[in-house]
């Protein structure tokens, strides 16, 4: 490498490295540190090592200063299951549509792809507000039930509402990678499978799913990650039963002012995300090596 080239690389990389090094890594390191510090009595921290922040979540605590409460673990598990459910619903909704769009003539494809991405650009909070309107007992859904002479069900402030809201806002995240995979699917393989006597369902299970697996996995990861740490959706649509770990974190920072505990919760979210990411990328790398 010539010195000139080296200088060019340094100049090009320096801004991002410096900026992200300070303002991205910095915050992550600080919450990692905070999660191991002692909470101060009136907010703030004391700079002494302390592992009960995590103990409170996972089941060890001294029982005096900090008490283990299974509620945190329960909320963590709930967040994971909400994330998983969101992924599953997104997948079930997007998969058939991806096939439908992939078979359309070029011009129509562009239009429908555009229509799928468009709501993504209409503000997040606006889209959630829409569901707040729809799910209200006096909203369109509730009125439909009343008109049919039925008692409107409790839609709002339920786990279902949270999952519905997350599905709605994350659909484009699932759709685009999935569509790329479905669109790349070699139709000859599907035909060959039918030709060899596989029923449509067998073809789906043995050929279509494995062949579109990269898209399924990619879409699932990028939906799961923001879903599991979400706090806006449960904040707006979820009641007490829809509380997620993101809401806990927010509470610790903005109302309880227990920053070390909040940081510990955030570290847990980050841990989950890292596990998912690492599993996914190593699997993808392995699959890539075989292909």
Partner 1 sequence: MRLSLGLFSLLFFAFLYAPLVVIIVYSFNSNPVNMLVWDGFTLDWYKGLFGIGERYLDPNQRVIYLESTPQLIAALKNSLTVAAVTTSFSTVVGTATALAVARSRFRGRGFCGGAMFLPMMMPDIVLGIGLLVFFSTIGMQLSLVTIIIGQCTFLTSYVFIVVQARLAGLDPRLEEASADLGASEWVTFRKVTLPQLAPGILGGGLLAFIISMDDLVITYFISGAGSQTLPIFVFSMVRRGVKPEISAIATLIILASVIVAATGLWLRARGERR
Partner 2 sequence: MSDLLTITGARRAFVTPEGRAVPALDGIDLAVHDGEFVTLLGPSGCGKTTLLRAIAGLEAIDAGTIMLEGRDLTRLPAHRRPVNTVFQSYALFPHMTVARNVGYAMEVRGLPRAEREAQVADALAKVGLEGMATRKPSQLSGGQQQRVALARAIVAKPRLLLLDEPLSALDRNLRQAMQIELKDLQHRLGITFVFVTHDQDEALTMSDRIVVMRSGRVVQAGTPREIFRRPATRFVAEFIGETNLLSGTVEGGAAGPILRTSGGLSLRIPPGTPPGARATAVLRPTDFTLGAEGIAGTVTRAVYRGADLHLSVAPEGGGPTLGAIARDNALAPQRGARVTLGYDPAAIHIMEGEG
Please give the Cα distance from 170 to 57 (Å, whole number): 28
- Our CB check for partner 2 shows the closer of 92 and 199 to be 199
Of partner 1, partner 2, none, which one sits near residue 168, judging by CB under 5 to 8 A according to partner kind?
partner 1
φ/ψ of residue 46, rounded to 5: -110, 140
Binding part of the chain for partner 2, among 2-10, 122-130, 193-201, 218-226 by CB under 8 A, reads 193-201
CB of 236 to partner 1, least distance (A): 6
Please give the Cα distance from 225 to 80 (Å, whole number): 10
208 binds partner 2 (CB under 8 A): no
199 binds partner 2 (CB under 8 A): yes
* H helices, E strands: number in the chain: 14, 2
151 binds partner 2 (CB under 8 A): no
Please give the angle made by the CA atoms of 254, 260 and 261, to the nearest 5 degrees. 75
Of partner 2, partner 1, none, which one sits near residue 262, judging by CB under 5 to 8 A according to partner kind?
partner 1
Q: Which residues in 102-141 contact partner 2 (CB under 8 A)?
A: 105
Binding part of the chain for partner 2, among 2-10, 166-174, 199-207, 272-280 by CB under 8 A, reads 199-207
Given a contact cutoff of 8 angstroms between Cβ atoms, the answer to whether 219 and 116 are in contact is no
Of partner 2, partner 1, none, which one sits near residue 197, judging by CB under 5 to 8 A according to partner kind?
partner 2
Figure out which of the listed residues 207, 221, 223, 249 binds partner 2, where binding follows CB under 8 A: 207
CA dihedral 42, 43, 47, 50 (to 10 degrees): 100
CA dihedral 155, 157, 163, 164 (to 10 degrees): 40
């Amino acid at each position: 490498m010539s010195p000139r080239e080296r200088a060019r690389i340094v100049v090009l990389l320096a801004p991002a490295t410096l900026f992200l090094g300070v303002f991205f890594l910095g915050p992550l390191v600080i919450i990692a540190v905070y999660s191991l510090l002692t909470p101060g009595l009136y907010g703030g921290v004391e700079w002494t090592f302390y592992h009960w922040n995590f103990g409170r979540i996972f089941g060890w605590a001294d029982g005096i200063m900090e008490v283990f409460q299974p509620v945190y673990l329960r909320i963590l598990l709930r967040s994971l299951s909400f994330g998983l459910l969101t992924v599953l619903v997104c997948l079930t909704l997007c998969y058939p549509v991806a096939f439908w769009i992939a078979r359309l003539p070029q011009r129509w494809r562009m239009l429908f792809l555009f229509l799928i991405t468009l709501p993504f650009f209409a503000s997040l909070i606006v889209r959630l507000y829409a569901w707040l309107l729809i799910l209200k007992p006096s909203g369109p859904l509730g009125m439909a039930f009343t008109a049919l002479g039925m008692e409107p069900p409790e839609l709002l402030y339920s786990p279902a509402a949270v999952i519905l809201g997350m599905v709605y806002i994350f659909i484009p995240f699932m759709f685009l990678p999935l569509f790329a995979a479905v669109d790349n699917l070699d139709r000859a393989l599907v035909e060959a499978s039918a030709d060899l006597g596989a029923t449509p369902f067998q073809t789906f299970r043995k050929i279509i799913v494995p062949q579109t697996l990269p898209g399924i996995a990619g879409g699932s990861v990028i939906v799961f990650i923001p879903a599991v740490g979400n706090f806006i959706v449960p904040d707006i649509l979820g009641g007490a039963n829809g509380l997620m770990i993101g809401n806990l974190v927010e509470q610790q920072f903005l109302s309880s002012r227990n920053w070390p505990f909040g940081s510990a919760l955030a570290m847990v979210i980050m841990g989950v995300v890292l596990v998912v990411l690492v599993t996914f990328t190593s699997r993808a790398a392995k699959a890539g090596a075989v292909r």
